Amino acid sequence: MNGNRSIASAPAGSQTTDRQGVTMTDAVERGATCPVAPRGWPNPLLPEYEQLPEGRPLTQVTMPSGSKAWLVARHDHIQRLLADDRFSVEPHPTFPIRFPAPQELLDMIAKDSKNLLVTMDPPRHTRVRQMALPDFTVKAVEKLRPRVRELVDEYLDRMEVRGGPVDLVQSLALPLPARVICELAGIPDAEQDTFTRNAAIMVGTRHSYTMDEKLAANEELMKYFATLVTEKQNNPTDDMLGNFISRAGRTEEFDHHGLTLMTKMLLLAGYEFIVNRIALGTQALLEHPEQLAALRADTEGLMPRTVDEVLRHFSLVDEIIARVALADVEIDGVTIKEGEGILVLKGLGDRDPAKYSDPDAFDIHRDARDHLAFGYGVHQCLGQHVARLMLELCLSGLIHRFPGLHLVESDEPIELVDGLPPVHKLMVGW
């Protein structure tokens, strides 16, 4: 899965540009250049990362707008910054937008962001998160375990009957999370196809679907979610989405459009994340047979560490986290000034050699519990326990149902593309 593109090493004082249009300039008082690897590369063993300044200092870059922002790649820096309430996720004139965009688009993003949990600051963020949190606690998610196991077994049964080789993405990684999400949201069986079909289009690669198809899928989902919100307002249901809508209805936090946007966020935010991890985690285990054998021999003991290692190792396929400073903040002698943006490279934080020994190696025996795959601080992923449960049960089911599970070469090999998910096909046999 290694890519064949790289950014040539740049001498001090020169500039390179990533695909989002961010110009890399010398770090203030550091004299080093810090290129960013292209988005969507699941394998970090690339020349780009060898060019990071030693010690990974805070490194300043110039955005397409001309404003300055700071790259943050050290694990400890990332934790400190994401836990600091002096950095905001809400729209701001100098918020670090990594791509050139017309003002109309920026205005639309700013308007919609007022109704999305991921772009709210406390105290409103705290109030809204509390509306959803009861259905995402460890205790609440554990109650889902028997049903999720049934669903995993259902898809594995289909694979077994069909016989190998099969595409694991289409056979398990895409449909299983969609089914779990539909059941969490209380979407009736007859309506689940609307969600699963359009969600698959929205997270598909540009080679699978055109932008027009993606926009049409988004429009159809928004219309469906608007109808779903109305139905649950009129006929409350005891499920994750129904409970959230009922709690929100006792406040003045959202109008109907706001609830529709929140529904989209709650149901789609983690979908592509878990699709990728099921596929990439399976591939990693099959590429490390000695670790796979150890996991089969001691699944109960090693599965928690395996899940954490999959999450840590493949953080690099994630979107960069952006923030803007609300006040001057000093980190290790560097002052991030009020109004300056930061770009948190959490995937690189999960490969920080100061945090993890041999960080580029996949090792299910390491303790990676404090990885950054779900973020950190108050915005840490709300659905992380659901994602962990699905990943655990998929990996466990696969390795025990199919002792001879192996990768199969395909005439359509795995492609690394600019958009997510980076893996849209993974052929396996047994």
Residue-by-residue DSSP string for 83-146: T-TTEE-S--TT----S---HHHHHHHHHHHTT-GGG--TTHHHHHHHHHGGGTSHHHHHTTHH
Same domain, 272 and 397: yes
Q: What is the number of domains present in the chain?
A: 2
Same domain, 132 and 260: yes
Same domain, 362 and 393: no
Among candidates 410, 394, 404, which has minimal Cα distance to 163?
404
- CATH code of the domain containing 299: 1.10.630.10
- Which is more confident, 68 or 171? 171
* Terminal C-alpha separation, the chain: 21
Same domain, 182 and 158: yes
Same domain, 196 and 223: yes
What's the distance, CA 73 to chain centroid?
17
| Strands (E) located in 143-210 | 166-167
Average confidence (pLDDT) over 406-411:
82
Q: State the Cα–Cα distance between residues 214 and 202, nearest whole angstrom.
A: 5
Query: In b/e form, how buried is each residue of 131-143, taking b as 16+ CB within 10 angstroms?
Result: bbeebbeeeebee
- Which is more confident, 32 or 227? 227
Same domain, 46 and 143: no
Same domain, 205 and 254: yes
Same domain, 103 and 135: no
Asked whether the predicted pLDDT for residue 214 surpasses 90, the reply is: no
Please enumerate in sequence order all residues whose Cβ is within 8 A of that of 62, keeping only pairs 6 or more positions apart, or say none. 22, 23, 25, 68, 69
Looking at 333, 356, 372, which one is the last position of a domain? Answer: 372
Same domain, 296 and 249: yes
Same domain, 102 and 179: no
Q: What are the respective helix, strand and coil percentages of the chain, to the nearest 5?
A: 50, 10, 45
Q: Which of 38-47, 212-221, 291-300, 363-372 has the lowest mean pLDDT?
A: 38-47
- The whole-model pTM stands at 0.85
pLDDT in tens, 346-396: 888 998 999 999 998 999 999 999 999 999 999 999 999 999 999 999 999
Please enumerate in sequence order all residues whose Cβ is within 8 A of that of 361, keeping only pairs 6 or more positions apart, or say none. none
Q: Which structure tokens are listed for 282?
A: 């399976």
- CATH code of the domain containing 349: 3.30.43.20
Asked whether the predicted pLDDT for residue 290 surpasses 70, the reply is: yes
Asked whether the predicted pLDDT for residue 322 surpasses 70, the reply is: yes
Rounded (10°) CA dihedral 61, 63, 69, 71: -50
Looking at 357, 372, 387, which one is the last position of a domain? Answer: 372
Asked whether the predicted pLDDT for residue 330 surpasses 80, the reply is: yes
Q: Which of 5-14, 24-33, 237-246 has the lowest mean pLDDT?
A: 5-14
Q: State the Cα–Cα distance between residues 376 and 386, nearest whole angstrom.
A: 17
Same domain, 231 and 285: yes
* Cβ–Cβ < 8 Å for 91, 119: yes
> What angle do the packed helices 240-249 and 256-268 form, to 10 degrees?
150
Place of tokens 């659901």: 386
Same domain, 93 and 7: yes
- Which is more confident, 23 or 9? 23
Boundaries of domain holding 94: 1-84+86-117+319-372
Asked whether the predicted pLDDT for residue 6 surpasses 70, the reply is: no
Average confidence (pLDDT) over 295-315:
96
Share of the chain above pLDDT 70, in %: 78
pLDDT of residue 4: 25
pLDDT of residue 316: 63
Please enumerate in sequence order all residues whose Cβ is within 8 A of that of 244, keeping only pairs 6 or more positions apart, or say none. 131, 132, 135, 262, 266
